[in-house]
Amino acid sequence: MAAVAITPEVVRRIETAEHEAWREIDRAAPPEIRAALGIACISIGDGAAFAASKIDHIQFNRLAGLGVTREIAAEELDEGIAIFERLGLANWIVHVPPQSHNLAALCAARGFVPHSRSWAKFARDAAPPAMIDTDLQIREIGSDQGEIFGATAAKGFGMPPIVGKWLGAIPGRPNWHCFLAFDGNTPAAAGALYIHECAGWVGVGATLENYRGRKAQQAILAARIAKGIERGCELFTTETGIPHAGEAGPSFKNIQRAGLQIAYERKNLKRP
């Protein structure tokens, strides 16, 4: 497996794949779930503001994709900031990749400071994945098992069931491939692949607590990479929080076991 050269074009492709996946997650939300969770996706500059005002978590409330393809105007950043201020949210962030043109400077001028949690952005080439020895069965599923997929993912993340109803709308949508790990007929773990411009974004990976340690996520990661190669992906990407000292960081380790290497540390900035 060859290391991916992290050029400006690769940064654009892997950031865009993630960004487009989240736009599609937003579009998948049924109207009643959108209203209940306060879900919104608003284009800002070359990026977007992703918001779920009823979920107090930076995963769902962030300015992402800004400054990836061009310099942004101060007014564009201010428009994004105003969205979260109107929502009254405290926990929201601005993603700042290393190659983000003038975004970091504009944020600094507005008094933004680093969030305690930076994210690692990973990349991998299209070499075939290693076989994973697990006693669980990995199956690609369609919209008919969307409810099971969403419920498994939400429970694995420790999120309320309504989030599962949102995520359950993803299977069967264009450019998505969703997988479940089963213990017999019992779902144990979930994971998804989204393909954009021959780049595969792997996300929505969660395992139920009583099935952890049985290589479910490693096996689902391998299945997603294999499916992406089949579909013509040239590279793969994902992201997760960088563990603090003393934290276990299972996702951080599993991602690297699947051959995804740290492309760069992506800073998260917040209001003081």
Q: What is the pLDDT of residues 222-264, one digit of tens each?
A: 999 999 999 999 999 999 999 998 888 888 988 998 999 999 9
Domain containing residue 197? 125-264
18 token code pair: 């993630």
Domain total in the chain? 2
Same domain, 68 and 174: no
Answer whether residue 18 is part of any domain. yes
Same domain, 133 and 254: yes
Distance CA 181, CA 163 (A): 19
- Continuous segment of H or E residues that includes residue 51: strand 47-52
Same domain, 131 and 220: yes
Same domain, 111 and 148: no
What is the rounded average pLDDT of the residues 73-94? 95
Percent of the chain with pLDDT over 90: 92
For the cut 70, the answer to whether the pLDDT of residue 7 exceeds it is yes
* pLDDT tens, position by position, 48-75: 999 999 998 999 999 999 999 999 999 9
Same domain, 189 and 133: yes
Domain boundary among 86, 120, 154: 120
Tell me, what amino acid is at 157?
Answer: F
Per-residue model confidence (pLDDT) at position 216: 95
Per-residue model confidence (pLDDT) at position 2: 66
Same domain, 81 and 132: no
> For residue 183, which of 206, 161, 210, 155 has the smallest C-alpha distance?
210
Answer whether residue 217 is part of any domain. yes
Per-residue model confidence (pLDDT) at position 246: 86
Domain boundary among 120, 147, 172: 120
Distance CA 31, CA 34 (A): 5
For the cut 80, the answer to whether the pLDDT of residue 77 exceeds it is yes
Distance CA 128, CA 224 (A): 11
Answer whether residue 2 is part of any domain. no
Answer whether residue 271 is part of any domain. no
What is the rounded average pLDDT of the residues 168-185? 98
Same domain, 173 and 49: no
What is the rounded average pLDDT of the residues 268-272? 94
Same domain, 137 and 257: yes
> For residue 45, which of 114, 108, 100 has the smallest C-alpha distance?
100
Answer whether residue 270 is part of any domain. no
Per-residue model confidence (pLDDT) at position 250: 84
Distance CA 49, CA 69 (A): 16
173 token code pair: 């949508």
Instruction: Compute how many other C-beta atoms are within 10 angstroms of the C-beta atom of residue 73.
Output: 12
Same domain, 183 and 223: yes
Instruction: Compute how many other C-beta atoms are within 10 angstroms of the C-beta atom of residue 125.
Output: 17
What rounded mean pLDDT belongs to the chain? 95
Question: Which contacts of 32-38 are long-range, i.e. CB under 8 A and separated by 24 or more positions?
Answer: 33/162, 33/165, 33/166, 33/169, 36/162, 37/162, 37/163, 37/166, 38/87
Answer whether residue 1 is part of any domain. no
Distance CA 176, CA 187 (A): 19
Answer whether residue 85 is part of any domain. yes
Same domain, 168 and 145: yes
Per-residue model confidence (pLDDT) at position 200: 98
* pLDDT tens, position by position, 91-133: 999 999 988 999 999 999 999 999 999 999 999 999 999 999 9
Domain boundary among 102, 120, 138: 120
> For residue 46, which of 79, 25, 76, 13 has the smallest C-alpha distance?
76
CATH number reported for the structural domain that contains residue 143 in this entry: 3.40.630.30
Same domain, 175 and 246: yes
Answer whether residue 272 is part of any domain. no
21 token code pair: 């996946």
Same domain, 252 and 155: yes
